[in-house]
Amino acid sequence: MFLCTEVIAEKSRCLLNANPVRLKTLIHNLIDNAIRYTPNGGKIDLSITKTDQYIEMTIKDTGPGIATDEALKVFEPFYRVLGSNEYGSGLGLAIVASIVQKMDEKISLAPTDAVNNCGLCITVQFAL
């Protein structure tokens, strides 16, 4: 069952046709990863913006980021980036990818700081 979830984006309201449990799980896993991989004193930004075609949710952190050659692998179940020294099962981003696929939406990864190739910026686009 899909419900409309109200999202406030840049001082304007819009309706997102989404299952609230899936949406909550997606946001929780993305924020949990950002907190887990951002060092003490680091920064995490969450923003929601609306374009003519999408609601975009972006989470940026100042953690180590993900190497380009591992960007797609992190969405596979149980995949863990070697040397991260973090605990977990490697399921968080696999769950996110599954939810994004079921919602027929888009997700992308990029470095937060492209010059120094560090940090992680994850954007999820929800079609209007």
Summarised one tens digit per residue, pLDDT across range 69-99 is 787 788 887 766 645 555 566 678 899 999 9
Strand partners for 120: 61
Query: Which superfamily, per CATH, for 24-127?
Result: Histidine kinase-like ATPase, C-terminal domain (3.30.565.10)
Show me where the domains of the chain are located. Answer: 24-127
b/e burial code for range 34-59 (CB count within 10 A of at least 16 → b): beebbeeeeebeeebebeeebbbbbb
pLDDT of the residue at 75: 80
Q: What is the pTM of this model?
A: 0.81
pLDDT of the residue at 90: 67
Ramachandran area for residue 126 (φ above 0: left; ψ -120 to 50: alpha; else beta) = beta
Which tokens belong to 39?
Answer: 């060092």
pLDDT of the residue at 11: 56
Place of tokens 């949710």: 57
Query: Over the stretch 5-17, which tens digit does the pLDDT of each residue have?
Result: 445 545 566 778 7
* pLDDT at residue 127 is higher than 70: yes
- Pairing status of strand 106-110 against strand 44-50: unpaired
Query: Over the stretch 24-76, which tens digit does the pLDDT of each residue have?
Result: 999 999 999 899 889 889 999 998 888 888 899 999 999 988 888 787 788 88
* pLDDT at residue 118 is higher than 60: yes
pLDDT of the residue at 4: 43
Which tokens belong to 45?
Answer: 């930004």
